[in-house]
Amino acid sequence: MSGTNRKKLSLVILYIFLGSLAHGGAAKGLTAIRSGPLTVFVSDNAEITGIEVSDRRLTRSVRGSTVLAGCTVQGPVIRRELPGGGVEFRRELVQDATQHKVQLIERFRPTPTSVRWELELSPGNDPWTTPIGTHLRYPVSPGVKFWTTWSDPDQQVKGWRDPLVAMPVRDLKLWYGAPPVRYEEPLIGFVPRRGDLFSVPLATFMEPEKDAGFSVVLSPRDTLLDMSLETTAGGDVTFSRLFHRLSAGKAVQFSLDLIAHEADWRGPMRWETRAYPEYFNATNALADEIAGTGAYSLYEKDLDADKMRRMAFRTNWKASYDFPYPGMFLPPVDDTRVWNRFSDDPRAADPDTEQAPNGRTSIPQMADYSRRMRAQGFYVLNYFNVSEFGALIRYPAPPRRYPRDEDLWRDANDFLYNRLNDAILRVSSGISPEVLAKFDGGKTKPGGPYYTWGDGIVLDCGEPAYADFLVNQARRHVEKLPESSGICIDRMDWIRFYNEERDDGVSWFSGRPTRSLIISWNKLFARLTPIMHGAGKVVYCNDHVRRIDVLLHADGIFDEFDNIGPALNLNAFLTVRRPAIGWTSSEDDLKPDPDAYFQRNLYLGVYPMAPYPENDHSVRPGEWVERQYMDYGPMLDLMRGKKWVLAPHAVEVSGGAKANLFQVPGGYVVPVTFGGDNREVVVKIRGVSARITAAEAFYPGSPQGAPLRIAQAENQLSLTLPLQRGCAMVRLQSAANTTKPQ
């Protein structure tokens, strides 16, 4: 018998064997764990050996295991049945090079919608770390596709490519949100413009011919530090969790779920948003109301409100100048006090001088601006930052300028060194001066602080004194700026770092206990959000580090880099059920093809910034650029309050065009984009859960909709849709109170 025939026969025998297990129970040495149509087979040595998906007629020899890098199993594997049909395995692993030991406990349990895979590591000696891997191998055939929440499906940097397209299985390596800090390349000032990132921890294999999909989904509720996702052309997929401390007396736990679904990226995203809604949904409904094109401007004069509304404008993230220096957002002064707005001009450093390049302000002036904007139907988000502090900071500490404690706020150096000194994030001696010189010309030095814009420095918001200060700043915001709609937190790139002078009890970086600034961020965020939400305000984030687990109870994203294709894609996955406003640096971002720029934003449900007076490093008014925004403004308005519909194969469109389906108040909208030379396309919609009473199409440059005729069947709507400039925005109005969340 030839090798090819032997291989085919082996696969047939395996499929028959696994199928008999699925229908007749587990044979000796295998446990069958069932959840709905999915059955996962686990051997007595704690390895997944196969899956069956009964409603898709799919049986595959999927392999899966937990792998600790450099470790081998020592002694027997102990198996125990769990109530409800689950099974537990215990085994001891030893790191070959150091002889460190850890007991690994794995549990496989059925849930109503998945097979849950739980890991618990209980070390027995001195602290150490090693990558903690979850490994699966899916049998690859020519029709098998792979998908995840990647920044770019081709791992490219320039341009934009559709992130919703599954790709052939191949070799790749992606980083969760951002690459880890490395001393030889710390990536200070990280920008998510890379093609090798992912933002929601899941991995999916699809077989379109069988309309079958199989995914592994990691829990965002786990404590996650740095992590990679690697695949091979042979069908391997490995999540590697990095820098977790393995030490006696402290168990390390993770959980993940194995799910079956249709051959559609919506399957794993649907499961994820239902399982972990607090990471995807805005807590405050105001978040949807303020969604629209945005600005980042200090401008406080009257606006041409009608023109701004025609460009779908809603919100100004008040540019970072109202405070005397970063961190001191509302000084501890009464309402009569006026101070110089922030400037890195040394003449503005004393709040009592009249040398104010950016002008002067006060609490009543800030409050009045929010009040006037609200009266026009617009909204204000005030600037907030939890990682950068001060301006014109000197190191080492200069002599104290103000002897009275109540005056310390007047000088950033005084306040830093007398109130927040312990929070300084100091540069590791492992980073060479040569590497640091590439960042800021040598100002940042080993042992000193990290310098940032305006000669401020980086602080660790996990330090109690600094965390308390920030919480008090949030309380002052609530008290003093009642008509501001909330805050937007800037510069999350610094949460990639580890504080080597502190110990969070969790991380082990560079051979020592540290405090991960991810841990610091999550703890502080859990204190800040209830303050803002309790006052009816929202919390938006400028998420340089794009990962779902740091957005618990966040209301939306106002991001500095969504004019870059990979960055836009990552945020789209993080905002399938909440609003996103993305940066537009200048009108050049729209060139040479403004239609393509707006259509990718419509397709992914992300608002671009609007041309606005005195926008800071972002698009400003001009006849040409304003005309483009007015052309697309009515279409952008239609997606306010959007929630991605994640029903199986929710929408399809002919002719190579792209379409998405959003649920909005009163019905649905369907952005049909990138239609090219098609004069019309056929759209099929399967994700509507309400009776549709009217349909109309909106086009660039046409503020009024054109009626559409639709064919309604039991589970599908069909329509022939004319296109203009390659696109249309279809609005489907539903009968009152019949629209259900998808």
For residue 21, is pLDDT > 90?
Answer: no
Whether 186 shows a pLDDT value over 50: the answer reads yes
pTM higher than the cut 0.75: yes
Polymer length in residues for the chain: 742
Contact 272, 520 (CB under 8 A): no
**Residue 543, CA distances (Å) to 91, 241, 400, 560 in order:** 40, 21, 35, 8
The yes-or-no verdict on residue 84 having pLDDT over 80 is: yes
Going by their DSSP bridges, the two strands 379-385 and 313-317 should be labelled as: parallel
Q: What is the pLDDT of residue 110?
A: 98
Query: Could you tell me the pLDDT band of residue 678, with boundaries at 50, 70 and 90?
Result: very high
Give tens-digit pLDDT for 631-668: 999 999 999 999 999 999 999 999 999 999 999 999 99
pLDDT single digits (tens) 577-593: 999 999 999 999 999 99
List all residues 6 or more positions away from 591 whose beta carbon is below 8 Å from its beta carbon.
none
> Would you state the pLDDT for residue 3?
46
Query: Domains in the chain, please, with CATH?
Result: 3-275 (2.70.98), 286-638 (3.20.20.80), 645-734 (2.60.40.1180)
What's residue 739's pLDDT? 53
Q: Looking at the predicted structure, is the pLDDT value of residue 26 above 50?
A: no
**pLDDT above 60 for 4:** no
3-state secondary structure of 10: helix
Give residue-wise pLDDT tens across range 309-340: 999 999 999 999 999 999 999 999 999 999 99
pLDDT at 736: 61
Rounded to whole angstroms, the Cα distance separating 633 from 564 reads 21
356 or 156, which is more confident? 156
| Runs of H (alpha helix) within 290-362 | 305-310
Enclosing H/E stretch for 626: helix 623-638
pLDDT per position as a tens digit, 39-69: 999 999 999 999 999 999 999 999 999 999 9
> Tell me, what's the pLDDT at 14?
41
Among 106, 107, 133, 104, smallest CA distance to 121 is for 104
Contacts of 175 (CB under 8 A, 6+ apart): 194, 196, 197, 198, 226, 227, 228, 229
DSSP characters over 122-155: EE-SS-B---EEEEEE----TT-EEE-SBS-TT-
Residue 36 confidence (pLDDT) above 80: yes
**Contact at 8 Å (CB) between 580 and 607?**
yes
The model's pLDDT over 435-482, given as tens digits with 9 standing for 90+, comes to: 999 888 889 999 999 999 999 999 999 999 999 999 999 999 999 999
Q: Could you give the percent of the chain with pLDDT greater than 90?
A: 90
Backbone angles phi, psi at 92, to 5 degrees: -105, 135
Mean pLDDT (the chain) is 94
Would you call the peptide bond into 346 cis, given omega within 30 degrees of 0 as the criterion?
A: no
Please give the pLDDT value at position 9: 35
Q: What is the dihedral of CA 247, 248, 250, 252, to 10 degrees?
A: 50
> What is the H or E stretch that residue 633 is in?
helix 623-638
Average pLDDT rounded to a whole number, residues 9-13: 37
Q: Pick 204 or 345 by higher pLDDT.
A: 204
Residue 15 has pLDDT above 60, yes or no: no
368 Cβ partners below 8 Å, 6+ apart? none
Q: Is the pLDDT of residue 168 over 70?
A: yes
**d(C-alpha 11, C-alpha 26), whole Å:** 19
Is residue 560 packed enough to be buried (19+ CB in 10 Å), middle (13-18) or exposed (0-12)?
A: buried
* DSSP string for 540-600: EE--SS--GGG-TT--EEEES-TTSHHHHHHHHHHTSSS-EEE---SGGGG-S-HHHHHHH
396 cis-preceded (ω within 30 degrees of 0) = yes
Cβ atoms 577, 313 nearer than 8 A: no
Give the pLDDT band (50/70/90) at residue 372.
Answer: very high
High-pLDDT (> 70) share of the chain, %: 95
What's the pLDDT band for 342 if we cut at 50, 70, 90?
Answer: very high
Contacts of 695 (CB under 8 A, 6+ apart): 707, 708, 709, 710, 719, 730, 731, 732, 733
